[in-house]
Homo-oligomer: A and B are copies of this chain.
Amino acid sequence: RINSDRLWLSLMQLGQIGATPKGGVCRLALTDEDRQGRDLFIEWCREIGLEVRIDEIGNIFARRPGTDPDRRAIAMGSHIDTQPTGGKFDGNYGVMAGLEVLRTLHEHGIQTEAPLEVIAWTNEEGSRFVPVMMGSGVFSGAFTLAHALAATDTQGLSVGDELQRIGYAGTHPAGDVPGGMFEAYIEAHIEQGPILEAHDLPVGIVPGALGQRWYNVTLSGMEAHAGPTPMDMRHDALLAAASLVTKVNQIAMDHAPHARGTVGYMNVMPNSRNTIPGSVAMSVDFRALDDATLLSMHNALHSHAELLQRHDSKLSIEIEQVVYFPPCHFTPTCIATVRQAADKLGIGHMEVVSGAGHDAVYVANLAPTAMIFVPCKDGISHNELEDAKPEHLAMGADVLLHAVLQLANG
C-alpha cells in the first residue's frame, strides 16, 4: 500500500507553488511557477534514484529501471500546469500518485521486471498556449514540434522561447522512448465530474473519453428599436440564438446517456436593453462516445439552423467547426488490469467515461492505456474551490500501484 500521508503532503507542498488566496493554484505552463514545480518534482525523483530526461517539448520522464533488459517501460503520469484559477489536484494528482508508487517500491526495495516511468506532460491545460494537451500531443505526433514551439501567449511570448528561459528545452527527441514505446500507460486523475460522488464510490474505471466537436456559431438578424418594431417584423438574432441553446441541450438529451451539449460562450451585439439584437456569436461544444453519435448531433445542429433560417429570410446562421477530437477507447486489457487491482484491494469502483480530454487520450494512440478516476468535491475543477479527500486519493494511488505491478511483472 502507498503512503497516504506522504502523497497528501507532496500534493500540498506542490500546491504552495503558485498558491492563490482562495486555496487554489495559478501555475500556468512555462512560467516561473511552472519551473519551480518542475524543479521540485525532479528533486523528488532524484531522491529515489530515478533517471530524468527532458524532451524537446519539455515533457519530463523519470525512470526506475527494471530487471528484464528486454522489457519496455510501464508509464504513469499527468501534468502539473494549472488553469489561472485552478486547483491543487487537476493533473498534479496523476504525477504525484505516479511518484508515490515509485517511492513505495523504493522504500520496500521492490524490483519490477519492466522499467517504470512517471511523466509530467507539458502544458495540458492550454490556458496560456494552445493547442491544449501540447506535450502529449507532440509526443504522439498529433501535431508537430515546430507547430507547438511557435505557439505564443497573449504577450507574444513563444513556447520555444519560454522553454529556453525556464531551462526546460530538453534534448531528448520528442516521441522517442528509450528501449521502445511504453508497454502501457496509466493516468490517475480527479474525475472533474459529479458521478463518483453521487454514487459514493472512491474509484472510477475509465473505458474511454468522449469525442468532441466544437463550433463557432454566428447569427445575424436586424438591429432595430425595441419599442416601435412590431413583433412580426423582427429579425431578432438573440431569439434565434435562444432557440439554438435550447436545441443544443435537447440534442444531447436525445443522444443520452453519454452525449453532452453545451453553449458556454455568448456575445450579444449591440447589447443594449432597448435594441433588438442584430447579431450573436456563440460556441457549441458537443461530446459523445462514438463518431456516429457525434455526426448525428452535428447534423441535428445544422438542421435546426436551417429550420430557423427558413422561418426568417433575413436571419443568417454560420456554423464553423473549430475543434475535433475523435472518441477515445482505452485498451481493454489495460482497463481489466485496473479493475482487477481495485477488486483485489476491495476498493469500490464503477465505470466512468471521461467527458474531458486528457494526456492519456493522445498516449492511447501509441500504447495500451487506461485511466483511474477519483472523486472531487461537487464535481468541481478548473476552480480554486477544487477539492478531494486524502482517503480517495490514496485508494486511487493504491489501485495504480497494484495495476502497475501486475503489468510490470506480468
A-side residues, CB < 8 A to B, are 191-195, 198, 210, 212, 214, 223-231, 233, 236, 238-239, 241-243, 245-246, 249, 252-253, 256-257, 259-268, 271-277, 283, 285, 287, 354-357, 379-383
Q: Which residue of B lies closest to A266 (CB)?
A: B268
**Residue in B191, B246, B272 whose beta carbon sits within 8 Å of that of A239 in the complex:** B246
B354 and A227 contacting across the interface, CB-CB below 8 Å? yes
Chain B proximity of A126: nearest CB distance (Å): 10
For A262, the chain B residues whose CB sits under 8 A away are 226, 236, 273-274, 276
Known contacts A249-B239, A266-B238, A268-B266: A379-B229 contact under CB 8 Å: yes
Chain B proximity of A344: nearest CB distance (Å): 27
Known contacts A227-B287, A230-B193: A273-B277 contact under CB 8 Å: no
For A198, the chain B residues whose CB sits under 8 A away are 233
Known contacts A242-B242, A266-B238, A273-B285: A260-B357 contact under CB 8 Å: no
For A210, the chain B residues whose CB sits under 8 A away are 227
A264 and B277 contacting across the interface, CB-CB below 8 Å? yes
**In the complex, A70→B167 CA distance in Å?**
94
**Highest count of chain B CB atoms <10 Å: which of A194, A262, A356:** A262
Known contacts A271-B265, A285-B274: A229-B194 contact under CB 8 Å: yes
A245 and B253 contacting across the interface, CB-CB below 8 Å? no
Known contacts A225-B356, A229-B355, A239-B245: A264-B272 contact under CB 8 Å: yes
Known contacts A245-B238, A249-B236, A272-B264: A191-B228 contact under CB 8 Å: yes
**In the complex, A223→B283 CA distance in Å?**
16
For A229, the chain B residues whose CB sits under 8 A away are 193-194, 260, 355, 379
Chain B proximity of A280: nearest CB distance (Å): 9
**In the complex, A368→B249 CA distance in Å?**
53
For A243, the chain B residues whose CB sits under 8 A away are 242, 246
In the complex, 27 of the A-B residue pairs with CB atoms within 8 angstroms, ordered by the A residue number, are A193-B227, A193-B230, A194-B224, A194-B233, A195-B228, A212-B227, A223-B380, A223-B383, A225-B355, A225-B379, A225-B382, A226-B260, A226-B264, A227-B285, A227-B357, A228-B356, A230-B355, A231-B256, A238-B245, A238-B266, A239-B245, A239-B246, A241-B242, A246-B246, A262-B274, A264-B277, A274-B285
